[in-house]
Amino acid sequence: MPTPEPDTATRPRPVTAQVTARTPVPVSDTPRRRMRTAADFFRSPEGHAALLGFWGSLMMTFGGLGAGAVRRRDPLLEEAHLSWLRFGHGYALATLVVWLGVLAMILAWVRLGRITLGYAGYESTVSLTELRWIVGIWIFPLLFSVPMFSQDVYSYLAQGALLRDGFDPYKVGPVVNPGVLLDNVSPVWTTTTAPYGPIFLLLGRAITMVTGSNVVAGTIAMRLVMLPGLALMMWAVPHLTKHLGGKPTVALWLAVLNPLVLIHLIGGAHNEMLMVGLMAAGIALVLEHHHAGGIVVVAIGVAIKATAGVALPFLVWIWMIHERERRTAENKGPLPHPIWTFAKIGGLGLSVFAAVFVAASAAAGVGIGWLTALSGSKKVINWLSLPTILAHMVTWVTPLRLDNVLVYTRMLCMLALVVTLAWAWWRFKNSEREAVLGILIAFVGIVILSPAALPWYYSWPLALAAGFALSAPTLMLLVGLCTWLMLVFEPGGPNGLYNFWHVAAATFVAVLAAFSLRTVDPLRLRADTKPRP
């Protein structure tokens, strides 16, 4: 690991006072005077956490060969005489290794959080540069793993192959294009048209043109394509703290090093990695007065996945705030009538967005049929969305069928979502911080009230929430929530939410992780609870 930036010094050893949740050591703002070498870093507590997370990632990669979202027929495993990992005791062993790897990474993340926040007797001295290198260390093994906790990457490849072979993915599903790529698509998505934007389809086409029907190469290539999104997040999330009041290192730890983000978005190769990175970078650019450039970046994010478009109306408010500040600084008097100003700036923003989107659609040779395909998410039914929870509650006390009740609960929640989005947009418009808070609330509303939700959807609001100054109880709550969401799906992609013991175990670990953020040994299993040097 290269030498970090000059403001990083050798870590002072943790203090020896009794460790409790009520006695955190204040964060020191004193500049550090000498550089810390890689050897110094790996001898420090944060270095130990970095290595633990790496080993966890490595365990997931090896265990995933049997327990991950493996191909229906995997000649590589057969040739390596490892196909036994997919059956019987071999599968049980592989599953155990994956879960141990996940728990190791969660433990490493929580330890790193204690150090970054200066809790439990530690003085926070870890730098942004070191945290960014830890991101690279943790994801490296996952780049070469089978898809983890989701089979979506197989759908991405099959949809890219549709465009490559002359089909319109917005009109037909992968089922019309038989082959190896189709064989691995989850049956629920074989007839579903693509709900993703034209730029993502272009990326899928480029990957399948290079890798052909090689699923392994295609999966690795898809992850490599996601890395620019990760890089944008590592830049943008700490940058947002300049305007939102948070601490850069804490923001990076919470929103990027988070196992929910790295395991799902890199291990699962989800296009949220690109979308969230572009969305966060676009918002950061607009906050820095690069209004047109920021809207271009967000528009590219929308052309990956439509959800990024939620931010655009709020960015108009930020642009108007900056224009008002500029006129005041230049003694040009107040802005013209607000309606005229809004129409002018909103029109400019819409024009920039439309230009990017039309160009992307023309390059892909497709229309806007993907917007209608967004309804395909209704096929997903789980306890992570409020409409599904309400529908289940109704079926407990009435003889009605779940699918019949879902129609109405989803309709009611959709109306509530429309009201929430309109309210948030109108209410949070008076400052930069308010506008970003409005985007955050809008994303939370979408995740909770939409017909379907999946664990990695929570990466959308998390990227923005991390930029704010968050209290210790809030951080503990987020650690617990992210841990729980990370654990409620199975390594191969199935939903574990309908298994009582699975949910109970995930809840226990989540609560333990939340309390561990403030206390080294919340269960008091060790006689010595002081942090170790």
Q: Which residues contact 265 (CB under 8 A, 6 or more apart)?
A: 226, 229, 230, 272, 273, 276, 456, 459
CA gap 272, 181 in Å, rounded: 21
Q: Phi and psi at residue 489, in whole multiples of 5°?
A: -105, 155
CA gap 22, 110 in Å, rounded: 17
Nearest to 4 by CA among 28, 39, 29: 39
Q: How many CB atoms lie within 10 A of CB 519?
A: 17
- The helix/strand/coil state of 170 is coil
The first and second tokens of residue 459, run together, are 């990466």
- The helix/strand/coil state of 334 is coil
Q: Phi and psi at residue 301, in whole multiples of 5°?
A: -60, -40
Per-residue pLDDT of 148-158, as tens digits, reads 999 999 999 99
The first and second tokens of residue 413, run together, are 């929640």
- The more confidently predicted of residues 526 and 93 is 93
Say whether pLDDT at 527 is over 70: no
Ramachandran bin of 179, using left for φ above 0, alpha for ψ from -120 to 50, beta for the remaining angles: left
Where is mean pLDDT largest: 76-85, 293-302, 348-357, 513-522? 293-302
Mean pLDDT (the chain) is 88
Q: Do 467 and 433 meet the contact criterion of CB atoms below 8 Å apart?
A: no
CA gap 64, 59 in Å, rounded: 8
Per-residue pLDDT of 49-66, as tens digits, reads 999 999 999 999 999 999
Per-residue pLDDT of 5-30, as tens digits, reads 444 433 444 433 333 333 343 433 33
Amino acid 58 reads L
CA dihedral for 185, 186, 191, 195, sign (positive or negative): negative
Amino acid 24 reads P
Q: Do 84 and 90 meet the contact criterion of CB atoms below 8 Å apart?
A: yes
Q: Do 230 and 139 meet the contact criterion of CB atoms below 8 Å apart?
A: yes
pLDDT of residue 424: 96
Structure letter (DSSP) for residue 18: P
Across the range 254-276, mean pLDDT stands at 96
